[in-house]
Structure 1
Amino acid sequence: MADIRRRAAVLGSPIAHSLSPVLHRAAYAELGLDDWSYDRFEVDEAALPGFVEALDPAWAGLSLTMPLKRAVIPLLDGISPTAASVEAVNTVVFTEDGRRVGDNTDIPGMIAALRERGVEKVESAAILGAGATASSALAALAVICAGPVTAYVRSKERGDEMRGWGQRLGVDVRVADWADGGRALDAPLVIATTPAGTTDALATGVPERPGILFDVLYEPWPTPLAAGWSARGGAVVGGLDLLVHQALLQVEQMTGLSPAPLAAMRRAGEAALAGR
C-alpha cells in the first residue's frame, strides 16, 4: 500500500451510515490516486472548530453533512455564490495557499441528477418538506423550473421560511398544508425531501400518469412512494443519484482532476447498498 500523501473525509453526526467513503474511494481507485485516503469522522457542531484547526497540510478537503453545513461557514475564508445562496456548505477545499473555501455541490448535484434522466425544464414543481434539503431543491428549481413551486409544509413558520428562500432565489413559492400533500403528486416534478417514512402514506395516491419523482432518500430504497411511482410508469430519480453527482463534484474540486469517474462511483454505491 502506498504511503498516504493527501487526505479527505466526511464529517457529521451521525455519520456511520454515510456512503461518501465508498464513493470517494472508488473514484480514487479509478483515478490511480493510491496515495489518497478518505475517511469518516463523527463530529458535531461543538467539536467542529477544534477538528478543523487541527488539520495539517496533507488535507485536501472535507465533505460535510448534517448538522455542520451552516456551522462550518464562520470557520472558512470564503464561500462560493452557490453556497451563499442557501447559506449551506457541504464541501470545503483547502487551497495551496492555506485558505479554506466552501462550496455547495448538493445544488448542482440535483440539477445533474435530473438532467441525467432527461429533465431539462419543467413548467411547475412541488416540494415535500421544508428543511435544509428543501432549500437546496429550491435553488435547483431556480435553474430548471419556469413556473411556480408549491411547498407542502407542516407549520406556518416553515411556510414562511420557504417563501423567504423563494424570494431570495427568485422562485415563485406557494405554500400548502402537509395534510394536502396528495395534491403534490399531480405536479410535473415532485421533490421529496423528508425523512424516511414521512411520505409512505402518499404511495397509494400516485396518479395514473405521474410525472417525475425525485426522492432524495437512498436507504431504504425504494421508498414506498418511489415504488408506487415506478409501478405507475413514472420516472424516478433517487437519493443515490444525488449522492453520486454531488460527490463527483467534490472529488473534482479536491483532487483537481476532471472528469471524475461517475460510473465507477455509482457501481460502488449500488454494491454497498445491496450489501446492507
Structure 2
Amino acid sequence: MRRLLVFTLCIAVAACHRKPSVPADVVARVGERMIALADFKRYLERNTGTDLAQMGPEVASAILDQYVEEIILSEYASAHGVEIPAEQIASAVRNDAGATVIEKRDDMRRQKLIAELAADVATPTDIAVRAYYDQHAAEFRSGEEVHVRQILVHDENLANDIQQKLKKGSSFDDLSSQYSLAPNAKKGGEIGFVARGELPKMFEDEIFALKPGSVSGVIRTDSSFHIFRVDERKPPGVVDLQTAAPVIRERLKEEEVRNRIAEVVGKARKEMPVSVLTKRLPFRYSGTLPKSENE
C-alpha cells in the first residue's frame, strides 16, 4: 500500500512539472504568446503579397524573423506601459480592410514605441554630419547624366520613316504624340535625366554618344523599335556639404533609431524567452532566432 502511495505521488509531482502542451499549429513563441502558422501566412500575404508555398526557405526564414521581432517589440511595449485605446484600434481596423484587431493593436503598439524612441534621439551635430560626408564622399559624387526623350513603335518601316522626318527637322514632340506607343508619348516622349547603368547597355551606348539636340539611329529590341533624342547633358559633379546636410542628418538619425530598436529587442529577449518550433514549419528554418527542436 505504501509503495502504491509513493508511486502515485511521484506521478502527481511529475504531472505538476510537465510543460503544458503547445497547440499543434504553433510555430513560434514570444514569452507566453504563441504564434500560429496561419498568423505567419497572413503576415506574409499582407506584407509581401506572396504565398508561403511560393517562397524559398531562406527568404521565408528571414521574414519569420522579422515577424517575430515585430511581435517582440509589441509585447515589450505592452509590458512597459505602452497601450493603445480600444477605440483607436477599432478605427484603424475599419480603415484597413482585412486587418484583425490583434494585428492592428500590435502595429500601433510597435509604432508608438518606435516614435518614443525616435523622439529621444538628438539631432546630429554639424561635426557628425561633416564626418559622415567626408567618410562617404563617393555617395555625393554624381556621374554624367543626359536628358532623354524616346519614340517607341513596333513597325520597322515606320521607325525608319520617323527617323527620316526627324533628320529633316520635324518636331520630336509632335512625332512622339502621333506615333509613339511609350507611356510618355503625349509628353514628348520625355524620360528625363538618366545616368549610366540606368538603361539597357544597347540604349546607353547610343544615348551617351549623342550631343544635345541630336537623335539616335533606330535601335531594335525583340519586338520594338526605339529612337532617342538627347536634350541636355550634365557633367559629373559633387553634391556640396550644404546641400547634402539635411539628407545626412536624417540618415544619421534613422541609424540611431535602428540602434535603439536593436537594443530594445535585445532587452526584450532577456525578459521574454523566444523560440521557433522548427519541426512544425513547412520549410527548413535558417533564421537567427533560438530554435526549439523537441516540440
Quick check: TM above 0.5? no
Larger-Rg structure:
2
Structure with greater proportional helix content: 2
Alignment TM-score, normalising by the size of structure 1: 0.24
TM-score under structure 2 normalisation?
0.23
Q: Which has the higher strand share?
A: 1
